[in-house]
Structure formats: C-alpha cells, structure tokens
Homo-oligomer: A and B are copies of this chain.
C-alpha cells in the first residue's frame, strides 16, 4: 500500500473547495480533523470539528500488547487527540465495531468499559454506533465530533519563519512500550511506557490553552511520530523546521529502557507514534509565556527547535554546545510510524 496508504491519495481533487464550502466545509481532508459549520449562518460562535480513526487487530494491537479495555480506551483517545490537535473540545463519538466470533461477550463488555472510561474522562457523549460481525479480526472505527471557536481552529499550515517549535510532553514512550510488550517484558519494564502505549492521554487542555493564547501558528498531535508530524507542518506551511537533538524531551523511563534493551531511544522519539502529545509552532515572543501558562496547569512544554525560511524540510541538529564535536545538521526522513514493522 505505502504510497496509497493516505486517505489524501484517494480523495484529492474529487470535490472542489468551492463545492465543499457551499456545504459548510471550512477545512476538509488534510489536517488532524475537518472543520464544518452550518451554511448560510455566518454568525455562529462555534464550528464543529470531526475526525475518524481506526484500530485493526494484528495491525494496531494483538493479545500481547493490549487488553480489550485498553483497545476501547485507545480507540476513542486517538480521536479525542485529533480534536485536541485543532484546539477543540471533544463532545460526541460514534463507534463502529466489527466483531469476530472469538470475541465473546466478556471481551466485548471490557472493550466498551474502556471506551466509556475514556468518554467519561474527556466528557464525550457516545451518541451512535454500529456493531457488525467480522470474519476474523476485530476492527474499531471511532468518529469524534468536537467544537471550536469559529475561525480559531489550529491548523498545520500557519508556521512562519522565526516561530519556535514545541512539544507538550515526552515522545517515544508509546513505541518503547510497544517494543517491550512485543518482547514479553511487561513485568520488568517501566510502567510509564506500558501506560503510554495502552492508555494514552490526549492533550485536550494543552490544545485549549494554546488556542486561547492566539499565538500558536500550527499544531499536530504526535500520532505518527515527531518527525512525521514536523514534516506535515513543514509541508502545509511551506517552511523548514529545525529540531535540536539536545532539546528533545528524554523521559527517564524511556532512556533507562532503551539502555537496558540496547535500543535507540532517538529512533523511538522521532519515528515512534501514538504519544498523543502536541507538536506545533508558536510565535517566538510568546514561547516563554505559553510555556509558563501550560506548566501552571501541570502540562510540560519543551522548546525543541525553530522555523526557518525554505523547505518544506525538517532537519535535526546534533552535537555542538555542551557535547564534544561539531554541530551537524541532517534531514530527517519523512517516514511515519509502523506498528509491528
């Protein structure tokens, strides 16, 4: 599939922007979520934010990596994160589950237990669903609906040279957790990594605070890995994002597990997905103010780079200040996250 794996490939240029606009579409396919409003009613205070995400057994999870309730929780959390990445408030969800014979009532009940645990935590009303049989594998597709102040949704396309690049929490933890789970090391590995993979925490409050500041120029959630998210912003904004290796947040759990297992923590940080923290750009003058505001709410904010003229490009600076050797720059690969690959 590879080049055909993107929904954008199948939907590009099928319907014109003008045609969609007449149907209330403010932002169509190509960002974390779509934004719509009622046509012919210009004075609306809120617009709607919509996104869909799918989890497939053997592709996104298996018996070793996730319990049924984890699957339900994460299926909704991934969608909530898409709304967070627009600066929106999640409100409603519709859930499609295709159920193989092997999934009896007990596992199904657990799946919905987890789903509702996430729904209750984020204030999401489950308003619709469809349950069908599946010949072999469980498939869960969740659509989430949220709201955002009219015209304020945080897109990928606003990054400007001079902005700084930030991330709102540790990255690579979910991929490290998955590595350990597939290795059968669940009992000995750091709990934060397992939790990051099974029970991610979408960054709704961070998104809201960033939207309210009015200085956040682009935003993504880290679903496909930091490098991939940075690339999406670089391409949508037509700029170069420069990330600094030594500014990337390295969690203690990640570093100790990487050392113990002989794995490359940086690989997980750049190309491991499903961390569901936010990665974006903000006007440089407000970076410290935003950081203080988020930290006052218990949300970390790491300044990890800056936006330059040029590109679209994403570069990583290694070496230099504080470490031996010269500062070096290299382009980061565009590849995203491949679960069991």
Contact = CB atoms under 8 A, between A and B. Distances in A.
Interface of A: 1, 4-7, 10-11, 14-15, 19-20, 23-25, 28-29, 33-34, 36, 38, 41, 45-46, 48, 50-60, 91-92, 94-99, 101, 105, 108-109, 112, 116, 119-120, 123-137, 139, 141, 143, 145, 147
Contacts of A34: 92, 94, 127-128
Given A23-B123, A116-B14, A116-B15, A94 B51 contact: yes
Contacts of A19: 125
Closest 8 CB pairs of A and B: A7-B129, A34-B127, A141-B141, A143-B143, A96-B141, A52-B94, A23-B125, A20-B125
A59 B133 contact: yes
Most chain B CB within 10 A, of A5, A52, A127, A134, is at A127
Nearest to A23: B125
A87 to B, nearest CB: 17
A94 B127 contact: no
A97 B144 CA distance: 16
A103 to B, nearest CB: 9
A10 B131 contact: yes
A21 to B, nearest CB: 9
Nearest to A8: B129
A290 to B, nearest CB: 28
Nearest to A36: B92
Number of copies of chain A assembled together? 2
Given A15-B116, A51-B128, A141-B141, A135 B57 contact: yes
Contacts of A136: 135-137
Contact of A137 (B50, B108, B129, B134): B134
A125 B25 contact: yes
Given A15-B126, A33-B128, A127-B28, A108 B52 contact: no
A25 B123 CA distance: 12
Given A126-B29, A145-B50, A135 B56 contact: yes
Given A11-B112, A94-B143, A134 B29 contact: no
A56 B132 contact: yes
A120 B132 CA distance: 27
Contacts of A116: 14-15
Given A1-B133, A4-B108, A145 B36 contact: yes
Given A94-B51, A105-B4, A137-B134, A127 B20 contact: yes
Contacts of A123: 23
A255 B335 CA distance: 57
A54 B19 CA distance: 27
Nearest to A78: B130
Contacts of A29: 126-129
